[in-house]
Amino acid sequence: AQSVTQLGSHVSVSEGALVLLRCNYSSSVPPYLFWYVQYPNQGLQLLLKYTSAATLVKGINGFEAEFKKSETSFHLTKPSAHMSDAAEYFCAVSLRVGAQKLVFGQGTRLTIIP
Amino acid sequence: DTEVTQTPKHLVMGMTNKKSLKCEQHMGHRAMYWYKQKAKKPPELMFVYSYEKLSINESVPSRFSPECPNSSLLNLHLHALQPEDSALYLCASSQVSGQGYEQYFGPGTRLTVT
């Protein structure tokens, strides 16, 4: 069964600093991978997704993620953090075959220090 | 229009009440989902509808009863809930189930069971 692990339940970065949120997956074949963001009292918004077209995926709000099969990783980065980036971030995986059952990581709460 | 709407935003109900949550999308999506999210946790899949037919039930208690009247609407009927059922209930939709299509989430219904 596929699973996803997010390293670090809380990450704090200074405004303007690099944001790096880590995600590792476990699957027998490379799955589809997603990053979602959740602001307080809101639903989830898709940041980006990997479906095998390109290993470096660019998303909204300046975020990008790189798929590394050898490391089974899909880390999320942003060169310069903004205060508005403070939120909960979820990495999610789904199988390539069968119904799209999204399995989420435990989430990483990103805090931006002014 | 990439919006999924959910009503009501907030719901307080007693353990003997019957209530319903409603979800609507007009993106032509043929897969719709219900998730349950407890505080500081990731969303947990409850049900998946594909082409208006129930395709996944994640062993959800029968006090939760989903219904998909048409391709745009998804309901979740609630009866005899327990206090531990208090959570944020999220609806999502995707073009079809599987194949890496991203899910679009609604803002959620915050349910409190007293």
User: Under 8 Å CB-to-CB from B66, ≥6 apart: which residues?
Assistant: B34, B46, B47, B49, B54, B74, B75, B76, B77
| pLDDT exceeds cutoff 90 at A94 | no
| A→B interface, C-beta within 8 Å | 32, 34, 36, 41-46, 49, 51, 90, 94, 96-102, 104-107
Residue A96 pLDDT: 62
The three-class DSSP label of residue B41 is: coil
If you search the block for the tokens 């979740």, which residue do you land on?
B76
pLDDT value at B1 more than 70: no
Query: How confident is the prediction for chain A on average, in pLDDT?
Result: 91
Nearest to A108 by CA among A79, A80, A67, A78: A78
Q: What percent of chain A has pLDDT over 90?
A: 73
B14-62 tens-digit pLDDT:
998 999 999 999 999 999 999 999 999 999 999 999 999 999 899 999 9
Phi, psi of B30 (to 5 degrees): -110, 5
